[in-house]
Amino acid sequence: MLFTATTLLVACDNQDLTVLDSTASTTVSLSTDQLVLDILNTGQDVLTVNWTAPDFGYSATPDYNIVFTAGDKSTSIPVGTELSKIFETSELNKVLLNKLGLSPGEIADVTIQIKTDLSNYYSISSNVASITITPYSTVIEPIYMIGGALLGWDTAKAVEVNGTGIGQYEVIAKFNNGGAFRFFSAPDWNATSYNWTYFEGGNVDANFENAQDGDTNIRFIGITGFYKINVNLIDKTITMTAVDEPKHYMVGAGIPDAGWNWNTPVEMTWVKDGLFEATTTFSNDTFRFFTNFGDWGSGRNYPYYVAADFTIDPNFEDAMDGDNNFRFIGIPGIYTVTVDYNNKKITLSQN
């Protein structure tokens, strides 16, 4: 027994014991304490989070997590063994909207803390860093063109340019030679505007030039007519292609003023890109929409719009005839019919 005890004592004296330093700590810092995120800055780095490595009294490789908190909601983002994390605009915006439930366009107070996990049983937290952040809406809103190159310098006549992606827009509009205009984020003179200067360094179609006026507007120098214009506010590009004037006609016995011939079709008014309307008499019979005068092959019947996921006014039904035309089943009379390709609906209102 004496021999055994002596052996254990010696073994303990020769062993290097690792002792955890319970005072180990880490400090977090941010590259800024105020941010207003902008969808047009997608792809750009906006926030860097740095932190120090805690000294546990021995060599250790803990895992780190960045903890975002806003109000009563928190979310943790694992970052491995790194000591910094750079957030890109859309990445950070997703954290704010999807994880913290913040409202787009509203300033929010957010705290950021580093949680250091040494094992499943031991972790420490850093100091708390504060930042005010305004996230942006991920809904693609339109922009607007206002100026003499289009319908005039009147916010009520602003031409809506449909959003097709982040910072990307497209529309068909009539442009007038020699007229100037600029883009606006809303049909309001106080809204953010994008003039010739904004697109410098990008690539602007040869149909445009610097108007060199007080607002450095964009002047259209091409041939007056209809064009499809594509705008990218991130890449700062404007391209355009000449197109035929958008047309829509109604032909059929359900439109007494038209009948089934091309002598007197009812031509719909082009209100703006993707929106047509006409006021005419409807009878309980069939008709079809057409996009080219005299071209039976350009017809768009009831199933065409069903397949395109349109909401169709209940006064219309599928005629179930050889061409699956529209059949008007309402009370005969004068109506205004609207075909809206932007919002995917066909509506009818009685006059």
**pLDDT digits over 233-263, tens only?**
999 999 999 999 999 999 999 999 999 999 9
Q: Which amino acid is at 155?
A: T
Q: Give yes or no for residue 81 having a pLDDT over 70.
A: yes
Instruction: Band the pLDDT of 12: cuts 50, 70, 90.
Output: very low
pLDDT of residue 272: 87
Instruction: Output the pLDDT for position 80.
Output: 94
| pLDDT value for 96 | 97
268 by Cβ neighbours in 10 Å (0-12 / 13-18 / 19+) ranks as buried
Q: Helix, strand, coil % (nearest 5) of the chain?
A: 10, 45, 45
What is the pLDDT averaged over residues 264-292?
96
pLDDT at 20: 66
Residue 146, pLDDT above cutoff 90: yes
With a CB cutoff of 8 Å and minimum separation 6, the contacts of 181 are 145, 146, 147, 148, 149, 150, 217, 218, 220
Question: Is residue 281 scored above 80 in pLDDT?
Answer: yes
For the whole model, what pTM was predicted?
0.73
| pLDDT computed for residue 19 by the predictor | 63
Residue 320 zone, left/alpha/beta (φ > 0; ψ -120 to 50; rest):
left
Q: What is the pLDDT of residue 6?
A: 35
C-beta separation of 18 from 58 below 8 A: yes
Pairing of strands 286-290, 326-328: antiparallel
Using the predicted structure, report yes or no on whether residue 140 has a pLDDT greater than 50. yes
Reply yes or no on whether the pLDDT at 90 is more than 80.
yes
pLDDT value of position 247: 95
pLDDT of the residue at 21 = 72
Mean pLDDT, all residues of the chain: 92
Q: Is 7 helix (H, G, I), strand (E, B) or coil?
A: helix
Please state which of the ranges 116-130, 158-172, 201-215, 248-262 shows the lowest mean pLDDT: 116-130
Provide the residue type at 50 as one letter.
Answer: N
**What's residue 263's pLDDT?**
96
Q: What is the pLDDT of residue 9?
A: 38
Q: What percent of the chain has pLDDT over 70?
A: 94
* Residues 147, 48 contacting (CB under 8 angstroms): no
Looking at the chain, the whole-number percentage of residues with pLDDT higher than 90 is 85
* Residue 136, both tokens: 């942006």
Kindly list the structural domains of the chain, giving each domain's residue range(s) and its CATH number in brackets, ordered by start. Answer: 25-134 (2.60.40.10), 144-242 (2.60.40.3620), 249-350 (2.60.40.3620)
Average pLDDT, integer, range 32-50: 95
